């Protein structure tokens, strides 16, 4: 499934306010490249996509500087200014998602996690990676499982965006959706 549209205008405004033009961004699980379509005019973007048919079907190699067909849990990198996990961690076990997030935190200025809550989803269009392993997530459960993150704006019962907690750093950019 591609990333949901809810609140994207707020996130785009935030990202373009915080990061200078030409900053680097890693889009994890881009599916159809929606985050590139939204931020590609501002960021130099790479992608990690686990499902090869998405790379081919959505011509991701024409959108991103680099595209790797790999599980993010096994992917290593040094630094990106922004890392986007857009509708991704619900597809992992809690332990896998914690590992991915903890690996990413010191390797980026900021981490953006878009997450649907209480969303059941099975194998979509033959892609077993589309199954929501964490279909029980709520804002409270997310915050219990994933530390060092804060909502970019007030989470709704069914969807939210989280970023790294940075004490003393004031977040700006756009209106709350």
24-33, 62-71, 79-88, 121-130: least confidently modelled range: 121-130
What pLDDT is stored for residue 124 in this prediction?
Answer: 57
> What predicted TM-score, i.e. pTM, was given to this entire model?
0.85
Strand ranges (E), 29-107? 43-49, 67-69, 80-86
Give pLDDT, residue 133.
Answer: 56
> What is residue 117's predicted lDDT score, i.e. its pLDDT?
75
Distance (Å, whole) CA 49 – CA 174: 29
Nearest of 125, 115, 107 to residue 155 by alpha carbon = 115
Q: What is the distance between the alpha carbons of residues 157 and 59, in angstroms, rounded to a whole number?
A: 34
pLDDT digits (tens, 9 = 90+) for 9-67: 889 999 999 999 999 999 998 988 999 999 999 999 999 998 898 899 899 999 999 99
pLDDT at site 63: 96
Question: How high is the pLDDT of residue 169?
Answer: 53
Residues in CB range of 57: below 8 A, 6 or more apart: none
Give me the residue spans of the domains in the chain.
Answer: 24-164
Q: Does domain 24-164 have CATH number 1.20.1300.10?
A: no
Task: Give the CA distances from residue 140 to residues 108, 146, 150, in Å, rounded to whole numbers and listed in that order.
Answer: 25, 10, 11
Averaged pLDDT for residues 147-168? 82
């Amino acid at each position: 499934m591609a990333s949901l549209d809810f609140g994207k205008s707020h996130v785009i405004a935030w990202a373009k306010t915080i990061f200078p033009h030409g900053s680097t961004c890693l889009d994890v699980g881009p599916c159809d490249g929606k985050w590139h379509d939204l931020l590609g005019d501002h960021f130099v973007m790479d992608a990690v996509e686990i499902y090869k048919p998405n790379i081919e079907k959505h011509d991701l190699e024409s959108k991103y500087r680099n595209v790797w067909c790999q599980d993010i849990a096994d992917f290593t990198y040094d630094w990106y200014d922004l890392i986007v996990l857009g509708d991704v961690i619900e597809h992992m076990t809690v332990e896998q998602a914690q590992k991915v997030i903890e690996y990413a935190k010191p390797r980026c200025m900021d981490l953006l996690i878009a997450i649907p809550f209480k969303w059941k989803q099975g194998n979509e269009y033959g892609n077993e990676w589309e199954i929501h392993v964490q279909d029980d997530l709520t804002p409270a459960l997310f915050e219990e499982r994933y530390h060092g993150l804060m909502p970019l704006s007030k989470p709704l019962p069914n969807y939210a965006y989280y970023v790294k907690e940075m004490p003393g750093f004031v977040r700006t950019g756009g209106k709350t959706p």
